[in-house]
Chain A
Amino acid sequence: MAQYLMSVLFDSNDLATDDEMAAIDVFNEQLQADGHWVFAGGLASPDTATVVDGRNGEPVFTDGPYLESKEHVAGFWIVEAPDLDVALRLAAQGSQSCNRRVELRPFLTA
């Protein structure tokens, strides 16, 4: 089994609608029932981000996201799957349930 990050890509700060939230709940329950579930969460908008640079002793705090881009990560799932084909199927279902695009990436395995 390997773990995958499914990032939800979105281009506005609008939150999920009630219908979308309901579909996401159904999907989450299915992930748990099928043993794929590790963790998931929605993220507040990029306006709320602070970039912290602690590399040179005194940390520097910068308001705003690291990248100004049209799309940002609005939320994510971490799932467990035996291979990419299974993970792709989960990502497709996730994308459909939250009604947004999903980027799928494997975690580094030791």
Chain B
Amino acid sequence: MTDVGEVIARTHRAEWARVVATLARRFGDLDIAEEMAAEAFATAVERWPVDGVPPNPGGWLTTTAHRKAVDRVRREARREEKHREALMLSDTPEPLGAIDDDRLRLVFTCCHPALAMETRVALTLRMVGGLTVPEIAHAFLVQETAMGQRITRAKTKIKAARIPYRVPSREDLPARVTGVLAVLYLIFNEGYLASDPGQEAVRADLTAEAIRLTRLVRALLPADGEVVGLLALMLLTEARRAARVSASGELVTLGEQDRGAWDRELIAEGHALVRARLASGRAPGRYQILAAINAVHTDARDIRDTDWSQIVALYDQLLRLDPSPIVRLNRAIAVAELDGPEVALAEVDRLPLEGYHAFHATRADLLRRLGRSVQSRAAYDRAIALAGNTAETAYLIRRRDQLTGP
């Protein structure tokens, strides 16, 4: 029984997106695709423990879901004549986009620019990731009903506004891929540093899902350097997850992490991806540069071995692509290691990031290193007030309380 349960869970992870995507193409309707895929899995949960697992679980699910969908469309066609058109439609193949893969089309439909960012995230997790509405609602701390409505509204808009179910044409592709990667990175980051104090500090389920989906996109678009870059970035970040929160639930900064607890396998894979991109000789994008920065960090056996000049150089490269204050803040943190806290503080103080907790946390640390305790304490207070993550708050409070003297 347990074995069958495991097979079903594994099949769900591996096959959900394929089943939904195949049905979406055949019926041109995300609602039908999703509901019938869910029903097919429900049937599997009933039948497989009795009948045994079929030799081709994915094919069994697709066939079952397809049969259920046809039944439903027929039922509705009898009820209302004009639904007959829907049946006819299912035989008309949609024009293929740049790449012919149902799952990729599903990803691009869920991440369509006409949908709000938060809706794209929710829809991607539901349709491509197969997460349930309560799971998504839990992950993003909203009411289940609100999350359900958000997904329903998105599907309505897809239908009413005729958001096409297809991979965008080649000239639109780069811009659309960027949107897809932004959604995946958002899912990963919410997992890696949960933004709400009511949540666990690190959500391994979300980081794992983001990595899985990024692997999927990479398998589908192997030539896109930024997809590789994002995957490498996620792997090199994920590799440090176990060392990132202490037993007492406090954030452990990079310098203090037990590097023996880092996941060597993920690091090796991430490094290989970064090296392959470098070898391609093509100009790297934002995710590739961020991955390279993380490759330098994970290369060092000790924080003191870190090649800070290379990290600063990479941030300079990133600044040319994205001259945002947040990039400048991160660059300043590396500058502090290279040129000292005074130089870094001068740069940080110029940044318009008053409402961002990491800005105050960085200032607090630099001021502490310069022995300016009073100002440092004030900056820690500000950072604590703005931080949402429990592990981070615990860390900031301890650092503040360690301050001595004026």
Contact = CB atoms under 8 A, between A and B. Distances in A.
Contact of B114 (A2, A82, A88, A109): A88
Contacts of B172: 85
Chain B contact residues: over half helix, strand or loop, or mixed?
loop
A106 B168 contact: no
Interface string B154-186: 000000111110001000100000000000000
A19 interface: no
A105 B162 CA distance: 10
Interface in A53-73: none
Given A84-B114, A88-B114, A106 B160 contact: yes
Interface string A95-109: 000000000011011
Interface in B108-167: 112-114, 160-164
Contacts of B164: 82-85
Contacts of B163: 83-85
B358 to A, nearest CB: 34
Contacts of B112: 84
B167 to A, nearest CB: 11
A83 B114 contact: no
A85 B172 CA distance: 10
A7 B168 CA distance: 25
A37 to B, nearest CB: 18
B114 A106 contact: no
Contacts of A84: 112, 114, 161-164
A87 B172 CA distance: 14
A85 B105 CA distance: 14
Interface in A1-50: 2
B397 to A, nearest CB: 44
A108 B160 contact: yes
Nearest to B168: A85
Given A82-B162, A85-B172, 5 more contacts: A82-B164, A83-B162, A83-B164, A106-B162, A108-B160
Interface of B: 112-114, 160-164, 168, 172
19 contacts: A2-B162, A81-B162, A82-B164, A83-B162, A83-B163, A83-B164, A84-B114, A84-B161, A84-B164, A85-B163, A85-B164, A85-B168, A87-B161, A87-B162, A88-B113, A88-B114, A106-B161, A106-B162, A109-B160
8 closest Cβ pairs, A-B complex: A83-B164, A83-B162, A106-B161, A84-B163, A84-B161, A84-B162, A2-B162, A85-B164
